[in-house]
A and B are shown apart, each in its own frame.
Chain A
Amino acid sequence: MSFQSAGYPLLPVLPELVLAVGAMLLLMLGAYRGQGTTRLITTLAVVLLAVTGVLVLSLPAGKHVTFGGSFIVDDFARFLKVLALIGSAATLILSSEFLSDPSRRIFEFSILVLLSTLGMMVLISAGDLIMLYLGLELMSLALYVVAASNRDNAKSTEAGLKYFVLGALSSGMLLYGASLIYGFTGTVAFTGIAAAAKTGDVGVVFGIVFLLAGLCFKVSAVPFHMWTPDVYEGAPTPVTAFFASAPKVAALAVFTRVTLTAFPGIVPQWQQIVVFVSIASMALGSFAAIGQKNIKRLMAYSSIGHMGFALVGLASGTVEGAQGVLIYIAIYVAMTLGSFAIILAMKRNGQAVENISDFAGLSRTNPLLAFFFAMLLFSLAGIPPLAGFFAKWYVFVAAIKAGLFTLAVIGVLTSVVGAFYYLSIIKVMYFDEPLPKLDPMRVELRTVLAVAGLFNIFFFVYPGPLVSVATAAAKSLF
């Protein structure tokens, strides 16, 4: 335990160590036993994620710092790590059909998802800029590969390449910003930066702009959203479900942690950037989605809009705001995973269909599925009493308390526009002439859909636990 004595206790990183070693063991298993073990490895990967989640929750309470302050485990990190793990595990469950197809039995898919999740956990716990960058790269590099994992499909390859090129560009911007911040403050640790950056020094602000530009790319916020629709449409659907859930959690987490813990002294300087990005994302997410025919592209614009709403909470820069962001992202993950379970179930005669017109008359051919999808869409639109309404409620209340009235009003208006295209899908499902019946839904998709759907419908009955955990998590940042 020489690490212990040197101020490098390893207990806080135990979940990450278990995940890393487990992923490598599974990699060995796959490499020596061949592609026949894909199913086994996927199952074991889900188990490994569950074990990691239990370890995260069973760490001693309170704030732990290790590796000289570059790795922080607090309530904020615990909350978001568990959320990211849930997102990744649900993705693996959703992708079991994709992976069972003999033409592309790639056991590496699960390994890459595991390593990407490891990157997310590092990112969520990052206490300095180097850790942030390493976590971000570990997360993204695995994402580029899984986007192109259906390599005989031109669209999937295109998605992977586009995401890679633009992701590399955004990493470059982020690094440039990080180097400027280091140059002007003399430290990479968030606490040190917070101590040094008390005045709005133009060099630091310049660095923040580039740093936030890199992070906006990862959360797909306007004006760094260009890749999102193409990548969402091109990537295999389970991969799209993954992109829309866990990485968003991690990216939003680091966005929140960097702005609130590294730059608490210069809130007005970064607040204007976040307000602009938030308004632009909400507006584009609402208006650009109206003309979409493909459900995956629509979900891409929907996710851009939702990131805008989540950033409304961050823009307020208060405890309530951070709490709003946390509640928003938790509910967003549930809504997204439920919706993608339905999109993955959209198959006719074994052929996946992804146009909105393919939902026509679903209420008569498959009433239960149509009901769940309608509930999820109402929730995404933010209609009470579903969970999505509460998500928006908390961020808008935080914005109003912080005096950001314009932002809140624009947010409400764009969410009305957004409701239009969610409702138009419901109209197609309930009032259009029915198409032939869909293939029966697989049991794992049903499970994910049932959990996510019931959470959305019944959240209002007992919102206490999530809200109190989110409050504790938000407080740990201040």
Chain B
Amino acid sequence: MILPALFFYLFAGVCVASAVMVIVSRNPVHSVLFLILAFVNAAGLFVLMGAEFLAMILVVVYVGAVAVLFLFVIMMLDVDFTELREGFIEYLPIGLVIGGIFLTELLLIGGSWVINPSVSKSITAAIPANVSNTEALGLVLYTKYIHYFQIAGIVLLVAMIGAIVLTLRHKASVKRQDINVQNARTPELAMAVRKVASGQGLQDADAAEWVK
């Protein structure tokens, strides 16, 4: 039983340490890399708890997509981070005070927290026995929780429409591929055969017609 505990402290320790490094490292790219490390360790903690589906989703979604997106944003936007940090020392005292208040509140809450014994009995969708939790999720996601799933789908549809509305621009000067026009093109439309008189070359009028 010592091995899981050992791994717990390993993952938890690295997770907290890399979370601190996200904030304190000077180079924003390093921050994102530490963020990825924090996510991977959090995934490890999920595996220890037996939630392998959540662990994999965390790796796929957060490490695979979100963190890389952050990296793109940081590299593409010219944000001067030294300027952002300028007021750091100035605001440190007030930040410490607010942080201290939050910490005290959390300790007070955590200290008085007694898990209601009825809570563990009232879990609405307990994992059935002999079923991996990926399968257990699949069993309820499209049946019992179909309405949540569908509404989440509509939320994503709105996000897609929104992205198109806010970014797509139809400019007259942009040439787009039109496959119908391409397929309807005949040799007569695309080519012209001209007799070129020796020593005179192609006349301007012919050339203009040909270009069209």
Contact surface of A with B, Cβ cutoff 8 Å? 6, 8, 13, 20, 24, 27, 67-68, 70-71, 106, 108-109, 111-112, 115-116, 118, 122, 130-131, 134-135, 137-138, 141-142, 144-145, 148-149, 151, 160, 183-189, 192, 196, 201-203, 206
Contact indicator A202/B112 (Cβ below 8 Å): yes
Partner of B165, one of A112, A122, A130, A192: A112
- Within B128-171, the residues touching A (CB, 8 Å) are 143-144, 146-148, 151-152, 154-155, 157-159, 161-162, 164-166
- B148 engages A145 (CB within 8 Å): no
Known contacts A68-B144, A112-B161; A134/B152 CB under 8 A: yes
From A137, which residue of chain B is reached at the shortest CB distance? Answer: B155
When distances are taken between beta carbons in the complex, the residues of chain B under 8 Å from A20 are 154
Output the least CB separation between A369 and chain B (Å).
Answer: 33
Once bound together, how far apart are the Cα atoms of A89 and B157, in whole Å?
A: 21
Chain B 111-124, CB-CB to A under 8 Å as 1, else 0, gives 01100101111111
Contact status A134-B112, CB under 8 Å? no
Chain A's nearest CB lies how many Å from the CB of B2? 29
Is B109 positioned at the interface, with any CB of A under 8 Å from its CB?
Answer: yes
Residues of A within 8 A of B158 (CB): 112, 115-116, 138, 141-142, 145
Docked-complex contact A138 and B122, CB < 8 angstroms: no
- For chain B, the count of residues having a C-beta within 8 Å of the partner chain is 29
User: Would you call B122 and A112 a contact (CB within 8 A)?
Assistant: no
How near does chain B come to A70, taking the closest CB pair, in angstroms? 7
Are B154 and A186 touching (Cβ within 8 A)? no
Residues from chain B with a CB closer than 8 A to the CB of A27 are: 161
Give how many A-B residue pairs fall within 8 Å (CB-CB): 89
| Distance to closest chain B CB from A200 (angstroms) | 12
Closest A residue to B167 by CB, please name it. A151
A206 to B113, CA, bound (A): 12
12 sample A-B contacts, Cβ–Cβ < 8 Å, listed by A number: A70-B147, A108-B161, A112-B158, A115-B158, A130-B148, A134-B148, A134-B155, A135-B151, A141-B155, A145-B161, A151-B165, A160-B166
Which residue of B has the minimal Cβ distance to A201? B116
Chain B residue contacts of A131, Cβ below 8 A: 147-148, 151
Closest Cβ–Cβ distance, residue B59 to chain A (whole Å): 22
B147 near A67 with CB under 8 A, answer: yes
Query: Which residues, 70 to 119 on B, are CB-close (under 8 Å) to A?
Result: 108-109, 112-113, 116, 118-119
Contacts of B148 in A (CB 8 A): 70, 130-131, 134
Q: Are A186 and B165 closer than 8 Å at their CB atoms?
A: no
Also in contact, A118 and B154, with CB within 8 A (given A145-B161, A185-B119, A196-B118): yes
Known: A112-B161, A144-B162, A148-B166. A186 touches B155 (CB 8 A): no
Min C-beta distance of A71 to chain B, whole Å: 7
Do residues A145 and B165 form an inter-chain contact, with CB atoms below 8 A? yes
Residue of chain B at shortest CB distance from A184: B116
Report how far A183 CA is from B118 CA in the complex, Å: 11
Contacts of A71 in B (CB 8 A): 147
- A24 neighbours in B (Cβ, 8 Å): 157
Write out the residue numbers on chain B whose beta carbons fall within 8 Å of the beta carbon of A188: 124
* A145 and B166 within 8 A (CB): yes
Cβ A141 vs Cβ B112 within 8 A: no
Q: Hey, which chain A residues are within 8 Å of B119, CB to CB? A: 183-186, 196
Residues of chain A lying within 8 A (CB to CB) of residue B124: 187-189
Q: Are A108 and B155 in contact (CB under 8 A)?
A: no
Q: Shortest CB–CB separation between residue B185 and chain A, in angstroms?
A: 24
Question: Which of B118, B162, B164 is within 8 Å of A186, CB to CB?
Answer: B118
Most buried by A among B120, B121, B152, B155: B155
Contact (Cβ within 8 A) A206 B109: yes
For A151, what are the chain B residues with a Cβ–Cβ distance below 8 Å? 165-166
Asked if A203 meets B109 with Cβ closer than 8 Å, knowing A71-B147, A131-B148, A186-B120, the reply is yes
Whether the pair B162, A202 counts as a contact (CB closer than 8 A) is no
Chain A residue at minimum C-beta to C-beta distance from B151 = A134
7 residue pairs, one from A and one from B, having the closest CB atoms: A186-B119, A145-B162, A186-B122, A134-B151, A67-B147, A108-B165, A141-B158
Given contacts A67-B147, A145-B161, A185-B116, 6 further A-B contacts (CB under 8 A): A115-B158, A130-B148, A141-B158, A186-B121, A187-B124, A192-B122
- Once bound together, how far apart are the Cα atoms of A20 and B119, in whole Å? 36
- Known contacts A20-B154, A187-B124, A203-B109: A141-B147 contact under CB 8 Å: no
Write the nearest CB–CB distance from B161 to chain A, whole angstroms. 6
Chain A residue numbers with a CB within 8 Å of B116 are 184-186, 196, 201
List, in ascending order, chain A residues with CB within 8 A of B123's CB: 186
